[in-house]
């Protein structure tokens, strides 16, 4: 059967209004180094170039990257990198070998290739300390999961992981007709203002992200059962839930990250005893 999915998630944005709305959602970029993920044929790039102090574009498709190089060969504030964003260390690309990089934060923008949306977001979160904000187009269903509040149907591991790294705003929706070729889904633009919460919650990033994945391992099971499956002892789980004022049968999607952090701290301090 022929796949209807375009190569490399290439649904080009052809609506001038949506292109402009995305750029305006970045706010003031006059002094910023902007990173565009997947410039494609340059729909958003064209608007960014006169507005941003510097623009760094990362495009996996060799032909598209070469075409962009040729088109903007004279643009002094533009760098095009032919690579996968998933392999890119953004701060290193923006300021090669420059230790001052920590002082300035990047602004990221992209009409993302949908086949790797989650991977790209996780890659950005891993580099959150180098990023101020990101405005990204994703499938609307993903946007709803990113922004979902605990206790709602859409809340899950992607919501918790995202909200541990960023303030999430779902800005506007974009219909399939705004793209060429049109995708099979509706899209939405989301702004992620990076502000990692690990320090405030008193949890170490990597272990707590792994713990978050485990508590959502089986979304239909109770939190207690997922914790048991992760190897924690029943009595320790009961104590952790009671300490966090959670009912014994609470489900993972009902647990805000603050309480998940509390449970993590009780369980791991028990394990150390």
Chain positions contacting ligand SAM, by CB under 6 A:
8-13, 37-41, 43-44, 58-61, 64, 84-86, 111, 113, 116
Indicate the residue among 86 and 102 with the shorter CB distance to ligand SAM: 86
- Min dist CB 29 to ligand SAM, Å, is 16
- Min dist CB 264 to ligand SAM, Å, is 32
Indicate the residue among 7 and 220 with the shorter CB distance to ligand SAM: 7
20 Cβ partners below 8 Å, 6+ apart? 47
- Min dist CB 56 to ligand SAM, Å, is 12
- Tokens 């790294």 map to which residue? 165
Indicate the residue among 87 and 206 with the shorter CB distance to ligand SAM: 87
Indicate the residue among 124 and 267 with the shorter CB distance to ligand SAM: 124
- Min dist CB 110 to ligand SAM, Å, is 7
Q: C-alpha angle with apex 135: 134 to 141, nearest 5 degrees?
A: 115
Indicate the residue among 85 and 143 with the shorter CB distance to ligand SAM: 85
- Min dist CB 271 to ligand SAM, Å, is 38
**Helix axis angle, 205-215 relative to 157-165, nearest 10°?**
160
**What's 231's DSSP letter?**
T
Q: 234: how many CB neighbours lie within 10 A of its CB? A: 10
Longest dimension (CA), the chain: 67
- Nearest by Cα to 72 from 43, 95, 49, 52: 49
């Amino acid at each position: 059967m022929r796949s209807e999915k375009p190569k490399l998630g290439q649904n080009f944005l052809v609506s001038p209004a949506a292109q402009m709305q995305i750029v305006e959602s970045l706010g003031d970029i006059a002094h910023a180094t902007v990173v565009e993920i997947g410039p494609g044929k340059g729909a958003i790039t064209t608007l960014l170039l006169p507005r941003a102090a510097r623009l760094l574009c990362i495009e996996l498709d060799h032909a598209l990257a070469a075409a962009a190089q040729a088109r903007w060969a004279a643009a002094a504030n533009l760098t095009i990198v032919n690579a996968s964003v998933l392999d890119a260390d953004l701060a290193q690309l923006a300021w090669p070998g420059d230790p001052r990089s920590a002082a300035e934060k990047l602004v990221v923008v992209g009409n993302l290739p949908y086949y790797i949306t989650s991977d790209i977001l996780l890659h950005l979160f891993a580099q959150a300390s180098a990023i101020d904000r990101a405005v990204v187009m994703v499938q609307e269903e993903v946007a709803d999961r990113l922004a979902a509040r605990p206790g709602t149907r859409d809340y899950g591991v992607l919501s918790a992981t995202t909200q541990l790294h960023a303030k999430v705003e779902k800005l506007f929706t974009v219909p399939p007709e705004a793209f060429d070729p049109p995708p099979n889904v509706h899209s939405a633009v989301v702004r992620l203002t990076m502000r990692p919460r690990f320090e405030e919650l008193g949890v170490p990033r990597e272990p707590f992200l792994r713990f978050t994945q485990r508590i959502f391992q089986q979304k239909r099971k109770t939190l207690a059962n997922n914790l048991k499956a992760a190897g924690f002892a029943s009595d320790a789980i009961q104590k952790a839930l009671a300490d966090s004022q959670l009912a014994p049968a609470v489900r993972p999607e009902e647990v805000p990250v603050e309480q998940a952090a509390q449970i993590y701290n009780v369980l791991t301090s028990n394990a150390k005893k």
